[in-house]
Structure 1
Amino acid sequence: MNGLKSLNEEWKKWIKVCILKGVSTNQIASELFQRGWTDAAYELIEKKGEKLKRPRIDLNKNRIALNNKEVSITYTCHKPHVIVFDDFLSFEECSALIEDSQNKFKVSKVINDDDGSRVLSTNRTSQSVSYSKSPNRLVKTIEARIAELLNWPANHGEGLLVLRYEDGGEYKPHYDYFNTIKKGSDKIMQNGGQRVGTFLMFLSEVECGGATRFPKLNFEVRPKVGRAIYFSNVDLAGNVDNMTLHAGMPVIKGVKYLATLWIREEPYL
């Protein structure tokens, strides 16, 4: 790697000053990453022998060749870290997931930060099917593909969740990370730790509405079969990123099917 060598003298001097001041390696790397020096950020962490706080995706190519699939990167953002992929799932894979989930849907719930329980909420009007620890071969294939793309162990995933949003269905602006100030977060994080990333996959398209929107970025991703979105809920220092506020916009016409996998910092048992 030559990421650090590619930095100009001003940035090299800045790194030395930070190290002398006792700034942590991951915090320095986080700042480099947010400024677009991604290779330098990862190289610094590796050279110092520090642990990565979140998944790492190779951003040097526009197409990434995986074991049984090639995916396209169509959009990237460094702060917050958001990547949009096309062709992550095939039309046949999306159709098979939708078909398998039929007659299994239940009303979706959200986590209560105060006690860690799962409760109904008017903020989230969808139905869902959990494939956590499912023996379904297709689900296992998709989870393995995500793990390969993210360079993050598959057993850190909470398990695939398929969602259905009918007319008017939405998920109002929210965060996926756990608010460590809240009492319920301690209970939730005992298994797997923090949610360091989120991986969304569109299984269908709708005639109107249904985008995934990032209000603080004034940016949204429209549904397209096989398209996926990854965003990091924490920075390279492991600090939660409040720029990741996002929402599932109301479906105005049609039925939206979506699959989600939340990624934890530690194995999720």
Structure 2
Amino acid sequence: MDRIRQLQGLNRIPAVCGELQAIRGKQLRREYKLLLDTGAAINIIKEHRTPEFSLQGSMFSLGYKPCKHVPPATPRKNSLTVNAATEEICVNGDKDIKEEADGSDRCALHPYAGPKYGKLCSGEIVLPADVQKKLKCRYVSRGIPFLKIAPFKEEEAYLDPRIVVYHDVIYEEEIEFLKRSSKPMLQSAKVRNVKSNTEEVAMKRVASNAWISDQANKHVKLLRRRVEDMTGLTADTSENLQIVYYDFGGYYIGHFDFVKEWDTRFLEQFGTGNRIATVLFYMNDVEKGGETVFTELDVSIRPKKGSAVFWYNLKRNGKGDNSTRHGACPIISGKKWIATIWLHEHGQEFIRPCTLLENE
């Protein structure tokens, strides 16, 4: 661990060939064990042709290639090499790691992460120029008197489905209150196991979360009111405010916020219909990593303190929109705080009327 801290240094982490790269070999098992404990899932390449190689990407998005920037040398077996000029790190070993008998890799990220998730997080995939040029920014007042004076700053991230970013919509006093209130309640974030109808800790999500249930608090009331002004939807049937903290290496692979139609037990627990929309607030700037990526749309949104992302999870016909699959990229340097409000269907009947058309 001391070696990891030493390499991390002054708020920077060694990166090979442009992004943080993990290392294979026995040295990896020792020096990067705690990266796995904090959620940095590292996939081991099982076959290689040279003793010098690197795993490219944000700790999990892998691409085989030799280390180009390290000059040839004859280092000691399994020695660690750091090139300060390029912030590159490589381990040289002359033997393959013996994988377990079943061929599984305990260090591998969850298989449902998909190739696009890693490439979006490492910047290998970007939104095409012909899509970007159609996106606009605007001031939004929605006919609300107060917003005539201080309109929302809205930035389009995608058009269909519509994903927008609102800037400067959560303030320092509110952020500090939410952090202070949630810290004593933080616990390992869980994901739903549909088969057992329970929630459990899983490698697909490495973070801590807490729920703010005090709806009478002035900061919570103001935030919910602001959500209504931003979205035009009612927050009366929304879930409690969720606070999520991602430490170094934390992530959440691609997932949907809406509940599948066949998961009737979970929908019955809500009692207010499905999650029609999501509002996600960023409560700090992240030094490196932590982007929100939509894997079906090639959209990547960088966390910016005070901003919020809004999108609909359901189509107008009430069906889940499968193009809204999204994830949180691993934290490479720093940490990440977010607050999420899920708005539900009930109460939105006249605000966002349904349609019977299959594709709307």
2:281 is the counterpart of 1:201: yes
Contact 1:112/1:184 (<8 A) preserved = no
Contact 1:176/1:195 (<8 A) preserved = yes
SS in 2 for 1:176: coil
Match of 2:301 among 216, 221, 226: 221
Partner of 1:122: 203
Partner of 2:180: 99
2:244 is the counterpart of 1:168: no
SS in 2 for 1:168: coil
Deviation for aligned residue 1:196: 0.7
| Count of residues in correspondence between the two structures | 208
2:158 is the counterpart of 1:77: yes
2:128 is the counterpart of 1:63: no
SS in 2 for 1:156: coil
The AA in structure 2 aligned to 1:227 is: S
The AA in structure 2 aligned to 1:63 is: Y
SS in 2 for 1:158: coil
Contact 2:282/2:303 (<8 A) preserved = yes
Partner of 2:124: none
The AA in structure 2 aligned to 1:206 is: V
Partner of 1:264: 344
> TM-score, normalised to structure 2's length?
0.54
Give CA deviations for 1:207-251 in whole Å, capped at 9, x if unaligned: 100010001111111111111001101112222110000001101
Equivalent positions of 1:228-243 (< 5 A) are 228-243=308-323
Greater RCO (CA < 8 Å, at least 6 residues apart): 1
Q: Distance in 2 between matches of 1:82 and 1:196?
A: 13
Deviation for aligned residue 1:183: 5.1
The AA in structure 2 aligned to 1:131 is: I
Does the C-alpha gap of structure 1 residues 227 and 244 become closer, same or farther in structure 2, counting only changes over 3 Å? Answer: same
Q: Distance in 1 between matches of 2:196 and 2:344?
A: 19
The AA in structure 2 aligned to 1:80 is: P
SS in 2 for 1:257: strand
Deviation for aligned residue 1:89: 1.2
The AA in structure 1 aligned to 2:277 is: G
Q: Distance in 2 between matches of 1:126 and 1:87?
A: 25
Q: Distance in 2 between matches of 1:87 and 1:136?
A: 21
Give ranges in structure 2 of 5+ residues lacking alignment: 1-135, 348-360
Contact 1:91/1:225 (<8 A) preserved = no
Contact 2:182/2:211 (<8 A) preserved = no
Q: Distance in 2 between matches of 1:110 and 1:266?
A: 24
Contact 1:113/1:183 (<8 A) preserved = no
Q: Distance in 2 between matches of 1:112 and 1:133?
A: 28
Contact 1:116/1:187 (<8 A) preserved = no
Q: Distance in 2 between matches of 1:172 and 1:164?
A: 15
**Greater helix share, 1 or 2?**
1
Q: Distance in 2 between matches of 1:263 and 1:85?
A: 17
SS in 1 for 2:309: strand
The AA in structure 2 aligned to 1:167 is: F
Q: Distance in 2 between matches of 1:229 and 1:138?
A: 19
SS in 2 for 1:179: coil
Partner of 1:192: 272
Give ranges in structure 1 of 5+ residues lacking alignment: 1-59
Q: Distance in 1 between matches of 2:194 and 2:219?
A: 32
Contact 1:172/1:248 (<8 A) preserved = yes
Computing the radius of gyration from Cα coordinates, the structure with the larger value is 2
131-140 vs 253-262, which moves further = 131-140
Match of 1:143 among 212, 224, 230: 224
Q: Distance in 2 between matches of 1:136 and 1:256?
A: 24
62-71 vs 253-262, which moves further = 62-71
> TM-score, normalised to structure 1's length?
0.71
The AA in structure 2 aligned to 1:82 is: I
Contact 2:157/2:299 (<8 A) preserved = no
Deviation for aligned residue 1:119: 2.0
Match of 1:157 among 238, 248, 269: 238
2:325 is the counterpart of 1:245: yes
